[in-house]
Amino acid sequence: MKNAVGREIPERIGDYALKPYEGAYAVDPSKEPVHSLRTAAKPAAGGTKLLGTIEEAVRACGLKDGMTISFHHSFREGDEIVGQVLTAIRALGIRGLRFAPSAVVNIKNPSIVDFVKDGTIDRIEASGIRGELGDAVLAGLMEKPVILRTHGSRPRAIEAGELSIDVAFIGASAADSYGNATGQIGPNACGSLGYSFIDATAAGRVVVVTDYLVEYPCCPASISQQYVDYVVKVERIGDPEKIGMGAARLTKNPRDLLIAERAARVMAASRLFKDNFSFQTGAGAISIACTKYLEEQMEERSIKASFALGGMTAAIVEMYKKGLVRVLECSQSFDAVAARAIAEEPGIVEIDNALYANPFTKGAMLDRLNFGVLAALEVDTDFNVNILTGSSGEMMGGLGGGPDVAAGADISIVCLPVIRGRTPSVTKRVFTCCTPGETVACVVTEAGIALNPRHARYAELKEDLERANLKLVTIEELQKLAESLTGVPKPIETTDKVVCVVEYRDGTVIDVIREIKRG
Amino acid sequence: MEIKKPAVAGSLESSDCQITVEPNPGQGISVHLESDVKAMFGDSILETVHTVLKELSVPEAHVELRDRGALDCVIRARLQCAVCRAAETAYDWTKEDA
């Protein structure tokens, strides 16, 4: 069957019935009470929940074959918790697990691929499967397709009962022996633990894993003791060098700077750019540069923002310190500066990832967002955006919150160069559709700005940008320019086997990825 | 044009292509291609190589390409340069005026 963005998807894969994508705002939530496996409990005997090893915790949780386990990805590529927990589970002989972290980052030694090959894991659901695992999955590693969900869709799926977590392992840079835990202090501080709030309240059992045990009560505490069954202290939760990355340096690439400046000009030209506006820029090279240019525009016109949202960077913390933004709502901290800032500044706060982006609650913060700046691998002439797969069929990224931001923000701005090397990024048809074109207001490239005539704010934005003398082109012109530079690439060949299901934020299927044929 | 000695042009930088041209006595044209974008543009690159060699009237050569996603115009230029160096001759710029 074909969905509303014209993608051919199967009706059923094994026992998973696919609901086709119908439109960005077309589906209503169920009227059922939200789902959780959390049970009532009595306080832990002896006033401590501390266990000696991860094995003990896994046994105490009653983890069995076929159950679902979860993690957050806030330690990024420095994470060593996932590897330690999976190694312990394998040693106990437990198999066939569903692995449902907020995202899979590229961890090595051990690699997730090893746990799939030996049968410890047989299903994966996450926002992205970066690195070695992603490439192995595209090459047909797994029997069951990986389900990819946006950051907003994960808590939605948990509350809808589509993803029930039996045991959540929550890594913390500091915790006490009774389960209060945080990512804000300790030698391996990672900042916001926003992804784990839903796991703490909805999982059957919750294990906090830390390498830095503090006196009771741990303060600040992001994860509350009332949800935590066990605490395990390990030697180390990760590689401090990779967890505590400093502020990302500003790119010097002139093309990226040009695109970033142009995106900031689009925002500044909009009638929504006035006191108390709100924005989200993200962590890519263009995004960080765009933050700096936005700062210049705000200072020039003496405009202050009410809030900045989502993944936080040093560049935005700097704007806060200058008094340019009143509140930073951090669902994730992208660098060490942003990680520490939550504990230090009253207006920089950690938020639940569901509050950030869940489409089926009484209100996510991104519904109140004026501007969202988004990165992309590819965009096509229907304004559909690909943020997952590279043009030669490799897994390049995760869904993250991109599709959520595009749907929530008044004006979503996709920034990308028209070509990367010899790879065209503005194409006739993206390889994987992740964000539907109807939610994309404009595409900003080094060759001009293309507005989407199908977007709700098209007329207003066109008027504003023309008044500011910003160069407008059509998306077709950008596509033709890209093709004239690179030539027409040979399409990627796939088999019929679906290896990834790309869910839209409402749980419908916007696209599938089929196994890549390697020549 | 006769290929007299091995010669190289281009670099291994992103978006460039390093091309080596060597004598290939009695064995016509042989090409070895390594490319980051082989799946998408491999055939197109090989076609360009054969076209350029024909334009320069090279009957015999062994060509090795290490492509880092160079555009077609870059590949043509690097190959023309490598061939001229290998043939110990200057490029005929009058062709560009046609």
Q: What are A426-476's pLDDT values in tens digits?
A: 999 999 999 999 999 999 999 999 999 999 999 999 999 999 999 899 999
B41·A421 Cβ contact <8 A: no
- CA nearest neighbour of A423 among A334, A488, A508: A488
A422·B14 Cβ contact <8 A: no
Please tell me the distance in Å from A422's CA to the nearest CA on chain B: 5
What is the residue extent of each domain of chain A?
A: 47-243, 254-488
Ranges of chain A with pLDDT below 50: none
Residue of A nearest to B73 (CA): A485
Q: Is the pLDDT confidence value at B30 over 90?
A: yes
Q: How far apart are CA A484 and CA A475, in angstroms?
A: 14
Q: What percent of chain B lies above the pLDDT cut of 70?
A: 99
Confidence category of residue B49, pLDDT binned at 50, 70, 90: very high
Positions of E strands within A59-196:
68-70, 97-99, 121-126, 146-148, 167-172, 174-175, 181-182
Predicted confidence (pLDDT) per residue in A28-48, tens digit: 999 999 999 999 999 888 889
Residues facing A233 on adjacent strands: A210
pTM for this model (two decimals): 0.94
What ipTM was assigned to the predicted interfaces of this complex? Answer: 0.89
Q: Give the list of residues 6+ apart from residue A518 with CB closer than 8 angstroms, or none.
A: A139
Q: For chain B, which domains are there?
A: 7-87 (3.30.230.10)
Looking at residue A519, what is its pLDDT?
Answer: 62
Retrieve residue A415's tokens: 């920034």
- CA nearest neighbour of A336 among A186, A130, A151, A174: A186
Q: Give the residue numbers in A contacting B (CB under 8 Å), as ranges.
A: 391-393, 420-423, 485-487, 489-490, 492, 519
Q: Is the pLDDT confidence value at B79 over 80?
A: yes
**A389 contacts on B by Cβ (under 8 Å):** none
Q: Give the residue numbers in B contacting A (CB under 8 Å), as ranges.
A: 14-15, 36-37, 39-44, 68-72
Please tell me the distance in Å from B45's CA to the nearest CA on chain A: 10
Backbone angles phi, psi at B30, to 5 degrees: -130, 140
What is the third-level CATH fold of A254-488? Answer: Glutaconate Coenzyme A-transferase (3.40.1080)
Backbone angles phi, psi at B88, to 5 degrees: 55, 50
Please tell me the distance in Å from A430's CA to the nearest CA on chain B: 14
Looking at residue A46, what is its pLDDT?
Answer: 85
A490·B39 Cβ contact <8 A: yes
Q: Give the list of residues 6+ apart from residue A472 with CB closer than 8 angstroms, or none.
A: A448, A449, A450, A451, A462, A465, A466
Looking at residue A205, what is its pLDDT?
Answer: 98
B40·A489 Cβ contact <8 A: yes
Q: Give mean pLDDT, residues B36-51.
A: 95
- CATH superfamily assigned to domain A47-243: Glutaconate Coenzyme A-transferase (3.40.1080.10)
Q: How far apart are CA A181 and CA A163, in angstroms?
A: 24
How far apart, in Å, are the Cα atoms of A252 and each of A304, A318, A417?
27, 19, 15
**A391 contacts on B by Cβ (under 8 Å):** 40
Q: How far apart are CA A494 and CA A7, in angstroms?
A: 15
Out of A421, A490, A492, name the one closest to residue B69 (CB).
Answer: A421
Q: Give mean pLDDT, residues B57-73.
A: 97
What does A493-504 look like in DSSP terms, one character per residue? PEEEEEEEEEE-
**A392 contacts on B by Cβ (under 8 Å):** 36-37, 39-40
